[in-house]
Amino acid sequence: MSEPRINDRIRVPEVRLVGPNGEQVGIVRVEDALRLAAEADLDLVEVAPEARPPVAKLMDFGKYKYETAMKARESRKNQVNTVIKEIKLRPKIDDHDYGTKKGHVVRFLKGGDKVKVTIMFRGREQSRPELGFRLLQRLAEDVAELGFVESAPRQDGRNMVMVLGPTKKKTVVRQEKRREAERSRTGEPGGEASAASEAGTTQTEQA
The pLDDT value given to residue 87: 94
Query: CA 192, CA 184: separation in Å to the nearest integer?
Result: 6
173 burial (CB, 10 Å; 0-12 / 13-18 / 19+) is: middle
pLDDT digits (tens, 9 = 90+) for 17-41: 999 999 999 999 999 999 999 999 9
The pLDDT value given to residue 201: 36
Query: CA 129, CA 126: separation in Å to the nearest integer?
Result: 6
The pLDDT value given to residue 101: 95
pLDDT of residue 148 exceeding 90: yes
pTM: 0.49
Q: What is the mean pLDDT of residues 139-145?
A: 95
pLDDT of residue 124 exceeding 90: no
Task: Check: CB of residue 149 under 8 Å from CB of residue 167.
Answer: no
Query: CA 29, CA 183: separation in Å to the nearest integer?
Result: 59
User: Which segments of the chain does DSSP mark as H helices, in order?
Assistant: 30-39, 61-78, 95-110, 129-142, 170-186, 191-206
More confident residue, 11 or 170: 11
